[in-house]
Structure 1
């Protein structure tokens, strides 16, 4: 399949995923605002935050149609300019869940204006990625010369019909020597550090949260409801963490491996773009399925869930029965 056909397929997947993402994330926000249990507290704003981000990401994906492309020891994100108008959130979620179940005083920082401090953490991660990509993996003469003819052959795009961003890791000279490009390696190191730090936070606070939930002693109906809700939210977060790991991290890691080995994936690198495009459409599903309030609302809407009728029982007072028996005996 030629590069142009892969591009058409990618565009179709991005359009469908974006439409589904817009609908399901909007629906999830409606459920969060109207059907959430009271115990959810400020956490609902974090959930809405991630839904808004995913809608925004889907729109950008449709407008820009970025395509990952691997050619030898370089991997790029190509955005065509012809006929055009011009990705740590879960780490914060796991921290919040641990603060709730441990009743930590820091939970107060999620109230009032202080919650914006937590909201800014993913933005700082994103800003780091943008600056790293722009300054350490920016277009240059060596990369442009290396990819120009290949992109023209595969995608039928002239050099002035697209823009690109990506590292050119090393260059093989005609005499067989290899020249390492240090700056792109530094960029990869920074991006890898942000990903690893996010994973460490998720694993650390995820384990602490799991241990704390299992140690909650149920003494009242409210405490039982709280533990049940915390378990639902925890399992939701676990699955939502696995979704980007499967759809984004693993495909990207495979592509990086081929790049280091100087194996040309060519147009098949578009698979990475496709899986990333699917992510915002799939991510809200675990929340809607696992959280009991949302699941029951959906099932009730489709007529699959009915409230159990209340069983009314009556009791006979023993004293009344005895008196009636005695009266009968006297007769």
Structure 2
């Protein structure tokens, strides 16, 4: 990623890519689409968690319409995000000038070897005149509305799930183990949503806001690239620590590993001691025979 002033672009270098050149731009746009699809997946997780907590017949009876909706919602969300990114954030003439002016001057590479997608709010033409890139602004505004819809669904069903779990805990018709499991799953889901908020949404919001204010700089985009890369590694961790069965299984695994290492070390020490005693015995016996 590269950012400067009012622009922030995601680069794909043809020399380092495994795909043919004709596939690099669609692949770059698809990479951006995964960001939008993740918004829909978070929303679907909370909808499904609410249906599971309430024991809805929609999932008990494997309702086809519900299953189709749960599958198609993130796909359709990603499809519109792809089209939006392709037509509003794709390459254009002023973007080429931006790359030449701020990136190519310090790197030994040709523009034909770079495929980029991103936002450039106040592009400059060849004569230094600045204009508003309304296509980019409208694209970012629509994508922001998509994110708001996703978060609206998350907060709505998250709150309903929380209320139902709390009310169920005061009743005796549901077992305490079932309530405990549902509570653990809910809090794990909450933390799994908080992690991308701090690793993806807040850094990307800062990056877009800085570019819109014409004060973006390169280290900001590098920070965003690092936080996005950390997300897949950190996102599963709440399940491991919050859900009791997972936590006990992981602790049991490490206990067995530690026990194996300690026992192996103890056995090695005993073997060395036995070998040392045997060597001393043989040495004393040979001395006795020689005398």
Report the Cα distance in structure 2 between the residues aligned to 1:249 and 1:192, rounded to whole angstroms: 10
Residue in 2 that maps onto 1:142: 94
Larger radius of gyration: 2
Aligned equivalent of 1:71: 4
SS of the equivalent of 2:17 reads coil
Give the drift of 1:118: 0.5
Note closer, same or farther for the CA distance 1:263–1:156 as it changes in structure 2 (3 Å cut): farther
Match of 2:123 among 161, 164, 171: 171
How far, CA to CA, are the matches of 1:153 and 1:110 in structure 2?
A: 59
- Residue 176 of structure 1 and its aligned partner are, at CA, apart by 8.8
Shift of 1:254: 0.9
Deviation at 1:260, TM superposition (A): 1.1
Q: TM-score, normalised by structure 1?
A: 0.66
The 8 Å contact of residues 109 and 115 in structure 1, kept in 2 or not, is answered as no
Note the C-alpha offset of 1:186.
1.4
Q: How far apart are the structure 2 equivalents of 1:174 and 1:115?
A: 53
Residue 92 of structure 1 is aligned with which of 18, 22, 44?
44
Unaligned segments of structure 2, at least 5 residues: 20-34, 257-291
Task: Tell me the equivalent position of 1:52.
Answer: none
1:157 aligned residue: 109
Distance in 1 (alpha carbons) for counterparts of 2:249 and 2:64:
30
Q: How many residues align?
A: 236
Cα 1:299–1:218, aligned 2, differ >3 Å: closer, same or farther? farther
1:69-123 superposed Cα distances (whole Å, 9 cap, x missing partner): 2122121111111132012212111111212222333334755685243022222
Is 1:236–1:287's contact at 8 Å kept on the other side of the alignment? Answer: yes
- Given that residues 138 and 165 in structure 1 are in contact (C-alpha distance below 8 angstroms), is that contact kept between their aligned partners in structure 2? yes
In structure 2, how many angstroms separate the alpha carbons of the residues matched to 1:155 and 1:280? 30
Superimposed CA distance per residue, residues 21-58 of structure 1 (whole angstroms, 9 cap, x where no aligned partner): xxxxxxxxxxxxxxxxxxxxxxxxxxxxxxxxxxxxxx
Q: What is the aligned partner in structure 2 of residue 322 from structure 1?
A: none
1:237-274: per-residue Cα shift (whole Å, max 9, x none)? 11001100000011111111110111131244111011
Distance 1:110 1:246, change over 3 A: farther
- Structure 1: unaligned runs, 5 residues or longer: 1-67, 305-331
Instruction: Give the structure 2 partner of residue 292 of structure 1.
Output: 244
Query: Greater helix share, 1 or 2?
Result: 2
